[in-house]
Chain A
Amino acid sequence: MSEAREFKYIGQRTIRPDGYDKVTGRANYGADLSLPGMIWGKILRSPYAHARILNIDTSKAEAHPDVMAVATYQDFPHVSSETFQGGEAPTDLLDLAKNILADDKVLYHGHAIAAIAARTESAAEAALSLIKIDYEVLPPVMDVADAMKPESPVLHDDMFTQGLEETPDTPSNIASRMELKKGDIEAGFAQAEVVVERDYYTPTVHQGYIEPHATTVSIDEDGQAMVWCSTQGHFDVRASTAKLLNMELGKIKVVAAEIGGGFGGKTTVYLEPVALILSKKSGRPVKMIMTRDEVFRASGPGSATRSRVKIGAKKDGTITAMQAKLCFEAGGFKGSPMGPGCMTVFTPYDVENMYIEGYDVVVNKPKVAAYRAPGAPQAEFAAEMALNELADKLGIDPIEFRLKNAARKGTQTVYGPKLKAVGLVECLEAAKNSPHYKAALGENQGRGLAAGFWFNIGGQSSVIINMNPDGTGTIIEGSPDIGGSRASMQLMAAETLGIPASNLRPVVADTEHLAYNQTTGGSRTTFATGMAVIEAAQDVVNQLKERAAAVWNVTSEQVEWVDGVAINTAGEEKLTAAEICKGAERTGGQISGTANINARGAGPSFAVHICDVEVDKETGKVDVVRYTAIQDAGKAIHPSYVEGQYQGGASQGIGWALNEEYIYNEDGIMENAGFLDYRIPLASDLPMIDTVIVEVPNPFHPFGVRGVGETGIVPPLAAVATAVSNAIGVRMTDLPCSPPRVLKAIQDAG
């Protein structure tokens, strides 16, 4: 439990311990490992967005002298439909297998069908054309609205909508429906004096990590496998691969390489099981890397959505009713983040009457994966836009409007729990008092503000801290470090142990060195792995105290631990950590602390963003001229990396709002599968992104930490779109607000 407390190490802007390797190019990422005898794997992908596979003939490929192994769906041992924990969300094993290598149907252009391993990359690539596939081409379904129509072509003959009162007996593209409610929505609207109801659209987007998926694998004569890969969760790579290939967990060692971005997109597997099949068949280590084109076409983008939001309020600004229908595209297989979308859409608001309906719908696009607060940016975009419109109609300032209805401690959420201490009000107040909000706007400029919420998760983390005889130590943890979390582990351990952070070396260990660690996702790392680090460090402190007690012949209750020193309260003696560790051999052996936890009490993080844009009204081009990201971190362990999360989330959200979208032709083929035409923000596109770290401590973490990684991508969509709307005097409802759309909005308004 933390009150406003003076920390010795926490809050310092230390140099991250893995930094030296990263600025010199020494750090090893997914594609950086080569092994002796290694060969290369390449994937044959569907040229159609929707087709039945009638026949796969690999005989010519198998016979070719350059080809050392071929893999298809038939190489998976019998896979059944089973739900397991394969990443951030529950995974259907059968869907996962069919996504990795297609079975009887291809469900998106680029869907993997077969793989070849050969001695060189180019030989493997060239040999793909030797595989002959017969297709029955089917019409593609490319939009959630079309997919939901009764007359739409159906992707899965065995998809019968779950979550309806009566399960239908004809298949459709609607995998499931969900409903959340509280209060009485009709009564709520009856009380409303002003209502806004509008439809919104967000496109398919990609997480845009700069490092493509990559893996190098090997397997020995005893079936002992090694997988080196770029992943957010190597223990879940092990779990998925073991299930898919019917192997024991102990037979697979997964090593998490340094990861070049993930944002949720690397919480599942694509290449690793295929590489292992090829490795087993060829008897050689196999390396597979996705090209950038493959990453866009065949990894897991973020869901496109169509939403309808209706909000009613009294003239004094009290919101009386909030209603949403959220339709999410899941891609070729079920499993969009429709659920979290429904849960988060209105959660920043303490409103009695809510009704939310969500649909998970398949379309002929790649199977979606998590993307930073999955479901929330899309859902809360719609809610925040409607709220800003309502504030305008009511003539109330958007901050005051939100303050009046803000969720606080004790607010009943629509998805079940009551909120504990949270910081939305503090963020809104910080926005109100910010120099940005008070600054005047120039010509052709507009300002937008939006709030955002993400729950954050806890989950399982396993940590060992080994002390060395000289009093330095190693923190062995299992959370792949995407954004600098090792620095925070150092600081939290240092604070607990009372010794300098530089004395502690944090290491992300492979699956053979720790018990299970949940994926780095859900903004859990600083919170849950941090908690485990603190617990393991406390374990070390307890042992250090016991050893000191033994030396002084007192009880350990009589020993205090202050600033890295044991103090005998029943006498005068002191012993430093280093001294105790030096004598460890004589007092019972070396000192290690462990923690295996399932962390509970993750604190949600609220955010409020302010965006100013300038619009060129003759071309529709939008420039972001000022941006402020305010978010509750609970306690910022390493402020620079907390700020970095705010700025990174803002930048992705700005891209989502302004220029990013998957563009498809009428055959369902993506036309912009590269960084040239899938336009993420450049250094020249953005201003400095000002940040404000609000700290309303999370009572369930020893230092008050809340996860911060995800919430930051939620507010920018509506902050930017509202700013554009205000600059041009026309309300935008569809993303992205790309120049042609903005110009059209200006021209249509005449």
Chain B
Amino acid sequence: MVSVVYEAPETVQDAVTLLVNADLKATVMAGGTDLIIQMRDLVTESRLVVDLKKIPGMMQATITEKGLQLGPSMCCAEITSRDDIKALYPGLVESAYLIGSTQIQGRASVGGNLCNSSPAADTIPALFVTGAQCLIIGPDGERTVAVEDFVTGVGQNCLGKGELLRLITIAKPAANTSDAYLRFIPRTEMDIAVAGAGVSVTLDDEGVCTAARVAIGAVAPTALLVPEAAEALIGTKLDESALQAAGQASSAASSPITDRRGTVEYRRHVVGVLTKRAAAIAAQRVRGDKA
């Protein structure tokens, strides 16, 4: 018979101790929107659930001069209601807003989305382009990992036994920088991304792109940074041919599969379209601020 043991520690240290000492399969829990479904499906495996939501800082977000410190368990609904976060990282906020329904938003978290490490996770490409850093705490102490190194495979990440994601920090963007995230789904809401693209651009006073980051999702085992797509934008005014080139670079960098949500050809094509559009929106956001 399956048994579940539930603990809700109030400090990071207690959480780490529980994870290290667990003899059952141990999983951390934030919003539970992926975990509870997985628990239903695994009828034969007993487990320890370590709920992180009571630990101070896990559910909070602060903006300082340096940037954003995001509690990994903070629910998406709360993130998307924060105008200060939206002003600095609109792409990240829109990726959080796209996860599931309003009800899912009331529980799902960016940290959970990252740690679940699905190839189609919406916030991961958006985190890539903001250059987020992940603070990990475990039995051997603290370490910081760039978000693009966090996810290592389908449903896999760099967390070792007893380690948990403590904080996501994002440096304050340079002036005249903005980002955007788009995903493609067959309906208007609810669906898992068929393809996703996040773009961050920095423009100079003439509107020329001086820096860019492009990341794509749902088209490879993990989200991918696409330096070639970024290069296609840098030095341009994001005119049609630059956008086209960026899109093509994204398509070329993708290695999608065919499954119930899309075919290889379809995903490869659409991720290019999304890259173009996300880049245009990010640029418009920069220009819009100046106008």
Contact = CB atoms under 8 A, between A and B. Distances in A.
A and B touch in the complex (CB under 8 A): yes
Interface of A: 122-123, 125-126, 129, 618-619, 621, 623, 658-659, 663, 671-672, 676-677, 679, 681-682, 684-685, 738-740, 743-744
A125 B42 CA distance: 12
Interface in B225-259: 259
Contacts of A676: 190-192
Given A671-B260, A682-B187, A619 B270 contact: yes
Contacts of B44: 126, 129
A623 B187 CA distance: 9
B260 A739 contact: no
A663 B260 contact: yes
B186 interface: yes
Contact of A682 (B2, B189, B263): B189
11 contacts: A125-B43, A126-B2, A618-B273, A623-B188, A677-B192, A677-B261, A681-B187, A684-B188, A738-B186, A743-B266, A743-B269
A682 B191 CA distance: 11
Most buried by B among A122, A126, A618, A682: A618
A126 B1 contact: yes
A740 B269 CA distance: 10
Contacts of A743: 266, 269
Contacts of A682: 187-190
A659 B186 contact: yes
Contacts of A619: 184, 270, 273
B266 A122 contact: no
Given A122-B1, A676-B192, A739-B194, 15 more contacts: A125-B43, A126-B2, A619-B270, A621-B186, A658-B186, A659-B187, A671-B259, A676-B190, A676-B191, A677-B191, A677-B261, A679-B187, A679-B191, A682-B187, A738-B186
Contacts of B131: none
Contacts of A740: 262-263, 266
Contacts of A658: 186
Contacts of B266: 739-740, 743-744
Contacts of B188: 623, 682, 684-685
A621 B260 contact: no
Nearest to A663: B260
B1 A685 contact: no
A684 B260 CA distance: 22
Contact of A126 (B43, B260, B270): B43
Contacts of A672: 260
A131 to B, nearest CB: 15
Interface string B183-208: 01011111110100000000000000
A739 B262 CA distance: 9
Contacts of A663: 260
The SS class assigned to the B binding surface is: loop
A738 B191 CA distance: 13
Most buried by B among A125, A623, A677, A681: A677
Nearest to B267: A740
A552 B259 CA distance: 80
Nearest to A664: B260
Nearest to A120: B1
Contacts of B1: 122-123, 126
Nearest to A672: B260
Contacts of A681: 187
Q: Give the 4 A-B CB pairs with smallest separation, nearest first.
A: A684-B188, A740-B266, A671-B260, A663-B260
A75 B194 CA distance: 47
B29 to A, nearest CB: 20
Contacts of A129: 44
Contacts of B186: 621, 658-659, 679, 738-739
A621 B187 CA distance: 8
Contacts of B269: 743
A599 B273 CA distance: 58
A659 B269 CA distance: 19
B192 to A, nearest CB: 7
Contacts of A659: 186-187
A658 B188 CA distance: 12
A676 B193 CA distance: 11
A623 B185 CA distance: 12
A42 to B, nearest CB: 11
A621 B182 CA distance: 14
A249 B253 CA distance: 67
B184 A685 contact: no
A320 B209 CA distance: 65
A685 B259 CA distance: 23
Given A126-B43, A677-B260, A621 B184 contact: yes
Most buried by A among B187, B190, B266, B273: B187
A80 B276 CA distance: 65
A123 B186 CA distance: 39
Most buried by B among A125, A129, A685: A685
Contacts of A671: 259-260
A743 B186 CA distance: 12
B255 to A, nearest CB: 18
A744 B266 CA distance: 8
B187 A685 contact: yes
A743 B266 CA distance: 8
A659 B262 CA distance: 12
Nearest to A743: B266
A311 B12 CA distance: 73
Interface in B260-283: 260-263, 266, 269-270, 273
Given A618-B273, A663-B260, A122 B2 contact: yes
A685 B186 CA distance: 10
A684 B189 CA distance: 7
A72 B12 CA distance: 52
B54 to A, nearest CB: 27
B101 to A, nearest CB: 9
A101 B101 CA distance: 37
B2 to A, nearest CB: 7
Contacts of A738: 186
B288 to A, nearest CB: 23
A679 B263 CA distance: 17
A684 B185 CA distance: 13
A743 B270 CA distance: 10
A677 B261 CA distance: 7
A50 to B, nearest CB: 21
A44 to B, nearest CB: 13
B125 to A, nearest CB: 17
A739 B191 CA distance: 13
Contacts of B189: 682, 684-685
B108 to A, nearest CB: 14
A672 B269 CA distance: 23
Nearest to B270: A619
A45 to B, nearest CB: 14
Most buried by B among A122, A659, A739, A740: A740
A628 B268 CA distance: 36
Contacts of A685: 187-189
Contacts of A125: 43
A123 B259 CA distance: 34
A163 B137 CA distance: 73
Contacts of B260: 663, 671-672, 677
Nearest to A620: B266
A671 B260 CA distance: 7
A616 to B, nearest CB: 9
Contacts of B261: 677
Nearest to B261: A677
A552 to B, nearest CB: 65
A677 B270 CA distance: 19
B6 to A, nearest CB: 16
B64 to A, nearest CB: 36
B242 to A, nearest CB: 17
A559 to B, nearest CB: 61
A621 B262 CA distance: 13
A556 B214 CA distance: 88
Nearest to A677: B260
